[in-house]
Structure 1
Amino acid sequence: MKGLFCRAGASDAEPKFVIQETTLPDVLGGHLVRVQVKACGLSPLDLKLLDDIGVHRDLIPVGREVAGVVLQVGSQVSFFHPEEEVVGILPLDSPYSGLCGAIDIDEHYLVQKPEKLSSVCAAGALRDALCAYTALHTHARMAAGHTLLVMDGASSFGLMCIQLACYHGVKVFTTSHSPQKHAFLEQLRPSVGVQDPLVAKVIPVFNGPSDLLPAVVEETGGLGVDIVIDSGVRLHEEESEEAKLLPHKHDVISVLGVGGHWVTSQKDLQLDPPDCRLLYLKSASLSFLNHEVWTASSAQQGRYLHILKDIVEKMSTGVLRPQPEEAVPLYEATVAMETIQCHQKKKAVVKL
Structure 2
Amino acid sequence: MKQAPVLPPSRRPLSIHVTMETRPSRRSLTLPDVLSSHQVRVQVKACGLSPLDLKLFRDVGMQRDLIPVGREVAGVVLQVGPKVTFFQPEDEVVGILPLDSSFSGLCEVIDTDEYYLVQKPEKLSSVCVAAALRDGLCAYTALHTHARMAAGHTLLVTDGASSFGLMCIQLACYHGAKVLTTSHSPQNHTFLEQLRPSVARVIPVYNSSSELLSAVMEETGGLGVDIVVDSGVHLHEGEEEVESEEKKLLPHKHDIISVLGVGGHWVTSHQDLQLDPPDCRLLYLKSASVSFLNPEVWTASSSQQGRYLHILKDIVEKMSSGVLRPQPEEAVPLYEATVAMETVQRHPKTKAVVQL
TM-score between both structures, scaled by the size of structure 1: 0.96
Give distance in 2, aligned partners of 1:315 and 1:248: 33
Give yes or no for the alignment of 1:309 onto 2:340: no
Alignment partner of 1:74 out of 66, 81, 95 = 81
The offset of 1:198, in angstroms, is 1.9
CA contact (8 A) 1:230 1:265 kept: yes
Give distance in 2, aligned partners of 1:283 and 1:47: 34
Question: In angstroms, what is the RMSD of aligned CA positions?
Answer: 0.8
Give distance in 1, aligned partners of 2:222 and 2:260: 10
Give distance in 2, aligned partners of 1:343 and 1:135: 22
Q: Which amino acid aligns with 2:326?
A: P
Alignment partner of 1:3 out of 7, 12, 15 = 15
Deviations 1:290-318 (A, max 9, x none): 01000000010010000000000000000
Aligned residue for 1:236?
236
Aligned residue for 1:191?
none
Alignment of 1:141-152 (within 5 A): 141-152=148-159
Aligned residue for 2:143?
136
Q: SS of the counterpart of 1:277?
A: helix
Give distance in 1, aligned partners of 2:93 and 2:213: 44
Aligned residue for 1:291?
295
Moved more, 15-24 or 214-223: 15-24
Deviations 1:174-218 (A, max 9, x none): 000000000000102xxxxxxx62210000000010010000010
Give yes or no for the alignment of 1:222 onto 2:216: no
The offset of 1:261, in angstroms, is 0.2
Q: SS of the counterpart of 2:210?
A: helix
TM-score between both structures, scaled by the size of structure 2: 0.94
Alignment of 1:1-352 (within 5 A): 1-9=13-21, 15-188=22-195, 197-238=197-238, 239=240, 240=243, 241-352=245-356
Give distance in 2, aligned partners of 1:106 and 1:52: 24
Q: Which amino acid aligns with 1:169?
A: G
Moved more, 213-222 or 230-239: 230-239
Give distance in 2, aligned partners of 1:71 and 1:49: 32
CA contact (8 A) 1:333 1:350 kept: yes
The offset of 1:229, in angstroms, is 0.3
The offset of 1:57, in angstroms, is 1.2
Give distance in 2, aligned partners of 1:36 and 1:92: 20
Identity of matched residues, %:
79
Give distance in 2, aligned partners of 1:96 and 1:320: 29
Q: Which amino acid aligns with 2:87?
A: F
Deviations 1:252-279 (A, max 9, x none): 0000000000000001100110110000
The offset of 1:242, in angstroms, is 2.7
Q: Which amino acid aligns with 2:60?
A: I
Q: SS of the counterpart of 2:62?
A: coil
Give distance in 1, aligned partners of 2:32 and 2:63: 22
The offset of 1:19, in angstroms, is 2.4
Deviations 1:135-160 (A, max 9, x none): 00000000000000000000000000
Moved more, 338-347 or 288-297: 338-347
Give distance in 2, aligned partners of 1:328 and 1:210: 39
Q: SS of the counterpart of 1:200?
A: strand
Q: Which amino acid aligns with 1:95?
A: S
Q: SS of the counterpart of 1:259?
A: strand
Give distance in 2, aligned partners of 1:99 and 1:69: 14
Q: Which amino acid aligns with 2:143?
A: L
Q: Which amino acid aligns with 2:116?
A: Y
Q: SS of the counterpart of 1:333?
A: helix
Q: Which amino acid aligns with 2:135?
A: D
Q: Which amino acid aligns with 1:109?
A: Y
- Ranges in structure 2 where 5+ consecutive residues have no aligned partner: 1-12
Give distance in 1, aligned partners of 2:303 and 2:29: 31
The offset of 1:244, in angstroms, is 1.7
The offset of 1:5, in angstroms, is 0.4
Q: SS of the counterpart of 1:161?
A: helix
Give distance in 2, aligned partners of 1:135 and 1:266: 13
The offset of 1:347, in angstroms, is 1.4
The offset of 1:6, in angstroms, is 1.1
Runs of 4+ in 1 over 4 A off after TM superposition: none
Q: Which amino acid aligns with 1:111?
A: V
The offset of 1:27, in angstroms, is 1.2
Q: Tell me the number of residue pairs that the alignment of Structure 1 and Structure 2 aligns.
A: 340
